[in-house]
Amino acid sequence: MKKSVRVRFAPSPTGSLHIGGARTALFNWLFARHHQGTFILRIEDTDAERSSPEMIDVITESMSWLGLAWDEGPLLQSGFLDRYRDRAQRLLSEKACYHCFCTAADTSAENDSAFQGGGCAAGCSDLGAAESAARREAGEEAAVRLRIPEGRGVIGFEDLVFGRVEVQSSELDDFVVLRADGTPTYHLSVVCDDIEMEISHVIRGADHISNTSKHILLFEALGAPIPDFAHLPLILGPDRKRLSKRHGAASVLEFRDQGVLPQALLNYLALLGWSPGDDREFFTLDELSDAFTLDRVNKADAVFDSQKLEWMNGKWIGRLPAEDLEQAVRDVLEKAELWDASLGRERRIWFRHVIGLLKPRVRTLHDFAHYGRAFFTDDFVYETEPVNKYLKISDPREKQRMVTGLSQLIQAYSTVDEFTLESTERILRAIAAQHGLKTGAFIGAVRVALTGKGVAPGLFDVLVALGQSKSVERIDQVRRCLQ
């Protein structure tokens, strides 16, 4: 019988949810979905020093924003401390573990100098039960180490991504499972919980590949079945070092705050280290969970490319219907204080229309506020470059033609009955022709008048979107400046 799929994402709340962690969460989530399994969120907060409750909130908020819902949890390891102590106690009584009286400072000094091999160099592993007990009774502090079984030989496992991975047990040190203060180390808590939660597949970063042999030893010592393992290649910065703060944005919430869509981030992340095997590039979460299999995960580490993310974000903005973008764009405009809260129904329809105009030329949500500013407020600046190009006319006769053209345009636009794409274009072209104005120059001038920019959606779209009176007003204002 095939065991049911139960996977977990187990971040430690020592920092915000990183891009690498997000991808691990995503792959676990996809694997669970693909197999109709269970996705568990477990918080590895056994290091009280570095963990913080705020970070747990950040992690859950990040995952919710991404749309990676968990079926069980969040389960905090700090709530299971007894469980780990009990297991350690059992291992102690079975002599699979032993008390080590060396201090942390002792052992780190040893590790710096040379590889010790085997157990604790001070010989704690050979201490008799009586002596060990006596010293502890005398108040000496002791950590608990796992005894690497003598002659265990090679420890190997069949990684679902990397294939066969092996290491000699003699390469392993007797690692600490319980600190002197009675709290578990990572190795113990992960294994205990993976047993307790009946995790079927451990899917995690490749930085844990070397830890896996230790974990296998613990599973064996605890007499528990060993889950399948799948390690994911790491995500690197452009310098091929592990992705971190100094590479710029690295946390999920930062990307959100920079105007990235969750769909785009997820889509991009899915393609980092995994490929569908064909040329498809755009995937929804549903499509991903259909297509996703571990055997298509790559082994090589991947460099994070923010340019491609941005491209993909632009594509997602472009392909999403305006309704779906509405709320996110609203949030951005609100932050930029460009949002008129009193928008009525008609104005909402207009709003969607403007989103539609801006959509194909925008790469992040922020661009709606920057690039599209003139749609939402009269308080915009006239950029010098396009002003110089279209409105600073040195030749007096040329300039006169432009002023006349604009005057006529204002006249015609303010009196035309139907202010439409068709009429605005017909009128403008006719006036340009009539006064010997180059159409491009005339359009350019009007565009600057309306938006302050040399780059904007098609002029007639802009005119209609701004509406008759506001368009005329802005053109007139520029005309007066010209004279």
Partner RNA sequence: GGCCCCAUCGUCUAGGGGACUAGGACGCCGGCCUCUCACGCCGGAAACAGGGGUUCGAAUCCCCUUGGGGCUACCA
Q: How far is the CB of 1 from RNA (least distance, A)?
A: 26
Residue whose CB is less far from RNA, 124 or 339: 124
Q: How far is the CB of 107 from RNA (least distance, A)?
A: 5
Residue whose CB is less far from RNA, 163 or 223: 163
User: Rounded to an integer, what distance in angstroms lies between the CA atom of residue 30 and that of residue 290?
Assistant: 8
Active-site residue 245, yes or no?
yes
Residue whose CB is less far from RNA, 11 or 262: 11
DSSP annotation of 274 reads B
Range 306-309 contact pairs with CB under 8 angstroms and sequence separation of 24 or more: 306/248, 306/249, 308/268, 309/255, 309/260, 309/264, 309/265, 309/268
User: Rounded to an integer, what distance in angstroms lies between the CA atom of residue 238 and that of residue 409?
Assistant: 53
Q: How far is the CB of 76 from RNA (least distance, A)?
A: 11
**Nearest alpha-carbon partner for 359 in 314, 295, 425:** 314
Residue whose CB is less far from RNA, 175 or 382: 175
DSSP annotation of 327 reads H
User: Rounded to an integer, what distance in angstroms lies between the CA atom of residue 386 and that of residue 478?
Assistant: 13
Q: Is 139 helix (H, G, I), strand (E, B) or coil?
A: coil
Containing 303, the helix (H) or strand (E) segment is strand 302-303
Q: How far is the CB of 99 from RNA (least distance, A)?
A: 9
* Cβ partners under 8 Å of residue 124, min gap 6: 98, 99, 100, 101, 102, 132, 142, 145
Residue whose CB is less far from RNA, 113 or 394: 113
Q: How far is the CB of 235 from RNA (least distance, A)?
A: 9
Q: Which of 3, 245, 335, 438 is catalytic?
A: 245
**Nearest alpha-carbon partner for 275 in 289, 250, 258, 292:** 292
Residues catalogued as catalytic: 245
